[in-house]
Amino acid sequence: MKLLLLLGLVALAQSLSVRVPLRKGKSLRQTLREQGLLERYLKEHPHNRAAKYFPTSFASEPLTNYLDNEYYGTISIGTPAQKFTVVFDTGSSNLWVPSVYCTSEACEDHNRFDPSDSSTFVSTNDSLSIEYGTGSMTGILGYDTVTVADIKVTDQIFGLAETEPGDIFYYSPFDGILGLAFPSIASSGATPVFDNMMSEDLVAKDLFSVYLSGDDKSGSFVLFGAIDSSYTTHGISWIPLSAETYWEITMERVTMSDETVACSSGCQAIVDTGTSLLAMPNTALTKVLDFLGVSSSSEISCDDVSSLPDIVFHINGKAFPVPPSAYVVESDGYCVLGFEGMDVDTESGELWILGDVFIRRYYVIFDRADNKVGLSRLS
């Protein structure tokens, strides 16, 4: 049976004019990709047939929209599977979940991983410590099978949280975080989940894409290995990365009512699914608030929202507007701007974070094959 399958693969490759050596080395899919024939093959062979050769071509994980503030999905770890809710965070690179060893109150109301219940868990003596913009965790590292959107990643390294200080994670509706940024910023040198998906040939394309719904609606998802064409009817604007750390890009300027209000000499920005608001340097925030005639509290009259201008991000020669209906957050009859001040400098200049306020306006494609971000306007 194995011989017949191998001969079938060789015949397929020959029909596509690809030379495949009969020895251990690159997979057929890697070879087809290098020859520029992978997309043709997948198009000519339905997914259910392609799965015979490629276990998973693409997979979608639905995300829960929690008050337009956080988006999280479900993964499983171990054998048998232990389920956890996680934020799919393009602003970090580590996977971690609470463990039975956790002594913090934040772990009490969340699912906790028990390594003694998993027959595939492998322990290490390595520790893990991560500082986020809000919140932190410490713990130990281990290996186990991680399943994400029906994609099973074996021997995935992940963190077992032992401490989660403060209140941030205590009140969070999710258990842990799954980082989708680059290995270069992974704490303790841990290989990110998506890197293992790529290296194990578990996705058809080395990219993933994200749709975040607004107004507390359902329908949000992260799609591994594919682009959903129904969300790209306005075309895709591709932006090269300026650094392979976060999903970092260069902005030329930020305007309102055709006037430059910030980033006049260029600046850096990261597209971050794990940040709720639009974060910018405090000097830029002051200029934006002054232009809008808003106090430092950022609170405004809800009746004034319709009269506010778009905030427009100029990136790679194109304009990406975010209207006031998107950047003003209404709660309990009060309206506040979805902006926050944060001073972080990079080697290339001041840093902005294009969080969920921005991402809700665009279908975002995170392309690791060519190190670029794709943006497609949603409405």
Residues with a catalytic annotation lie at 89, 272
Angstrom distance (rounded) from CA 303 to CA 250: 35
In three-state secondary structure terms, 145 is: strand
Tell me the sheet residues that pair with 74. Answer: 85
**Could you tell me which of 286, 284, 258 has the C-alpha nearest to residue 269?**
284
Angstrom distance (rounded) from CA 343 to CA 206: 32
State the number of CA atoms in the 13 A half-sphere of 258 facing the CB: 0
Please name the residues in contact with 373: beta carbons below 8 A apart, sequence gap of 6 or more. Answer: 238, 239, 241, 247, 249, 271, 364, 365, 366, 367
Angstrom distance (rounded) from CA 41 to CA 235: 24
Cβ atoms of 180 and 366 within 8 Å: the answer is yes
Cβ atoms of 32 and 41 within 8 Å: the answer is yes
Residue 320 vs residues 253, 263, 371: alpha-carbon distances, Å: 11, 14, 20
Burial 212-232 (b: 16+ CB within 10 A, else e): bbbeeeeebbbbbbbbeeebb
Question: What backbone phi and psi angles, to 5 degrees, belong to 31?
Answer: -65, -45
Instruction: Give me the sheet containing 299-300, strands edge to edge.
Output: 299-300, 334-337, 328-331
